[in-house]
Amino acid sequence: MQDLLYFIQQLINGLTIGSTYALIAIGYTMVYGIIGMINFAHGEIYMIGAYTALIAITGLAALGIAWLPLVLIVALICAMIVSSSMGWAVERVAYRPVRGKHRLIPLISAIGMSIFLQNYVHLAQGSRNIGFPALIEGGFRFGAEDSFQTSITYMQITIFATTLVCMTILSLFISRSRIGRACRAVSQDLGMANLLGIDTNRIISATFVIGAALAAVAGLLLGMYYGSIDPLFGFIAGLKAFTAAVLGGIGSIPGAMLGGLILGVAESMTSGYLSGEYKDVVSFGLLILILLFKPTGLLGKPEVEKI
Amino acid sequence: MLEVQNLSMRFGGLLAVDQVSLDVQEHEIVAIIGPNGAGKTTVFNCMSGFYKPTGGKILFEGKEIQGKPDYKISRLGLVRTFQHVRLFSRMTVVENLLVAQHRHLNTNLLSGILKTPNYREKEQKSLDRAAYWLDRVGLMDMANRDAGNLAYGQQRRLEIARCMVTEPKLLMLDEPAAGLNPAETKDLNQLIISLKEDYNVSVVLIEHDMSLVMDISDRINVINQGRPLASGTPDEIRRNDDVIKAYLGEA
C-alpha cells in the first residue's frame, strides 16, 4: 500500500512537471514543423514570460488588488502579450532576414538572440534569483496519518488544468481554424502554400507567437511552482523541452505533448527511486536511446526525400 | 493574354532556354512539346516566377511579370501544377480545397473566434465552392480522406480542382497526364476542354502524350534544345518536317 502511494506521488510530480515541459515543447515543435529550424531563443522567451508575470503580480499587489483569480488572469495575459511580442520579434530579427541562407546562419543568429535576451534580463532585473510568491497554497492528502501520504497540491491541479485547457484550445485551433489549416499546409509544403496565395510570412510569424504564448503560460506556472526565478531559468527548461520535442518526434504537436509527459515522469521516477542527481542523466540518456532506435522520435514521421 | 517575348534562361555556362517566344490568347489551349531536356519546364518555371529569366519579357494582361515572386504571379491569376503531385498529403481532400481559398477568406482572427455572420458566410461560400469542384472532378466520396491516400489519377484531378478554386485566369499544367492510364487520360482530356469551354480559363500545358496534345490543343509550340522549333495548329505541327526530324532523328 505504502509503495503504491509512493509510486502515485512520483507519478503526480512527474506529470505536473511533464505537462509544463510539453507546453514549452510545443513552441519548438511548431517552429521546426514549419521552417525546419530550432528556435534557440525559445527558453529565454519562456523566462521572460515568468519575469513579466512576476512584475504584473507585484504591480497588482502594490495597487492593493489581491483577488486571486484576477491576479492570475492579469499576470497570465501580461506574460502572454510580452512573450508573444518577443517571439514575433525573434522571428523578424533573427530568422526572416536570413531565411533561405545556409542552415547554420539562423542557428547562430538565434543563439545570439538568446544570449542577448538573457543578458538583457540580467541587466534589467539583476542576476540574483527573485522569490516568486506562491499564490496557490494547500492541497489534498491521501493515506494513513502515521505512514507515507500522497499529496496533490492545488498548484499541481492548477498546472494540470491549465495545460489541459491550453492543449485543447491549441488542438482545436490547428484542426479547425482557418489559420490552423494554413499552418498545416505551410508545414507540409511551404512553396506550394505560397503559390496558392497563402501569406506564408504571416503564418510563420503566427507559429512563433503561438509557441511563445504557451511558453509564457508555462513560465507563470513554473515560477509559482518553484517559488523563485532567475535569468538562467529558461536555459535548462528550454533544453528539457527541446529534448521532449525530439523525444516525441520534432514537428509533431501530439508528439511534443507525449514527449513532455514521458520526460517528466521519467525524471520524477529517477528522483524518487534512484537519486535526484541522476534525473538529467536519465532524461538525456532516454533521448540518446530514442535517437538511436527511432531517429524520428515516437510520433514523428520519417522525412520523405523530395526530388 | 499571356505573351512571352524572346525568353532566355542561362544557368552558368548552359543556355537552357534561348529566345523562346509564345503567346496565349483568351479561351485557348496552348501546348508546349519537345524532346526530354528541351527546356519546357524551364520556360514554365520562368513564367510562374520560380526562376528569374536572364533575358526577354513575359507579359500577362499587358503587364510585365518576369522576375516577380511566385506568389504575386499566382495572385494575378496565373496558377500552375508540377510534374510530380504536390498536394498537402496529410490534409483531407476537402481541406486541400479550403486552404487554397485562404486568401479569398480575408477575415481576421477575432471574427474567426467570434464566428461573426460575415465570417460564416465566407466559410460557407468556400465550402460550397470546394463541394462544387469535388463533384466536378468526381471526388465527392473521398472528401474526408487524406489526400495522400488517393489513387494517383485522383490526386491529379484534385490538383486541378485545387487550382480552380483559386479562380485562375490562366492555368499552367506541367505534364498533367504523366502516369495516367488511357481511360484516366481521356477523362483528363474532357476536364481540360471543359475548363476552357465552361469556365473560360486559358490553359498552357507541357505534355508528352501526343494523343492528348493533338486532341485538345488549339495551338502547339515545339521547343528543341532550348530553341523554338515550330509553332502552329496540331495539323501543321504533324506535317512539319523539322518536328518529325527532332522527334524521330534523321533517316
Task: State the pLDDT confidence band at B95, using cuts at 50, 70 and 90.
Answer: very high
The mean per-residue pLDDT over the stretch A204-233 comes to: 94
Q: Which residue has the cell 502515485?
A: A8
Going by C-alpha positions, the residue among A42, A127, A140 that lies closest to residue A88 is A42
Task: State the pLDDT confidence band at A306, using cuts at 50, 70 and 90.
Answer: very low
Per CB-CB distance under 8 Å, the chain B contacts of A196 are 74, 79, 99-100, 102-103, 162, 166
Whole-number pLDDT of residue A219:
95
Question: pLDDT digits over B188-203, tens only?
Answer: 899 999 999 999 899 9
Query: Which of A 197-256 lie inside 8 A of B, CB atoms?
Result: 197-200
Specify the higher pLDDT residue, A19 or A299.
A19
Per CB-CB distance under 8 Å, the chain B contacts of A200 are 71
Going by C-alpha positions, the residue among A127, A135, A114 that lies closest to residue A223 is A135
Specify the higher pLDDT residue, B235 or B113.
B235
The mean per-residue pLDDT over the stretch B75-86 comes to: 89
The mean per-residue pLDDT over the stretch A213-220 comes to: 96
Whole-number pLDDT of residue B94:
93
The structural domains of chain B, ordered by start, are 2-86+168-248 (3.40.50.300), 88-149 (no CATH)
d(CA A59, CA A52): 10
Q: Sign of the CA dihedral A217, A222, A224, A227?
A: negative
Question: pLDDT digits over A227-284, tens only?
Answer: 999 999 899 899 999 999 999 998 888 999 999 999 999 999 999 998 888 988 998 9
d(CA A1, CA A175): 43
The mean per-residue pLDDT over the stretch B176-189 comes to: 88
CA distances from A251 to A173, B161, B251 (A): 16, 29, 57
The mean per-residue pLDDT over the stretch A180-206 comes to: 90
CA distances from B87 to A173, B50, B72, B149 (A): 22, 18, 20, 11
Task: State the pLDDT confidence band at A197, using cuts at 50, 70 and 90.
Answer: confident
Task: State the pLDDT confidence band at A307, using cuts at 50, 70 and 90.
Answer: very low
Going by C-alpha positions, the residue among B231, B199, B59 that lies closest to residue B132 is B199
The contacts of residue B145 (CB under 8 Å, 6+ apart) are B92, B93
d(CA A170, CA A163): 10
d(CA A27, CA A49): 13
**Chain A residue at shortest CA distance from B78:** A195
d(CA B32, CA A245): 47
pLDDT at residue A137 above 80? yes
Amino acid at site A66: A
- Mean residue pLDDT across chain B: 87
Chain A: nearest CA to B250, how far in angstroms? 34
**To 10 degrees, what angle do helices A200-226 and A42-62 make?**
60
SS3 B46: helix
Whole-number pLDDT of residue B113:
66
What DSSP string runs through A89-118? HHIIIIIGGGTTS-THHHHHHHHHHHHHHH
Task: State the pLDDT confidence band at A14, using cuts at 50, 70 and 90.
Answer: very high
Whole-number pLDDT of residue B173:
92
Task: State the pLDDT confidence band at B131, using cuts at 50, 70 and 90.
Answer: very high
Contact pairs from chain A to chain B, CB under 8 Å: 65
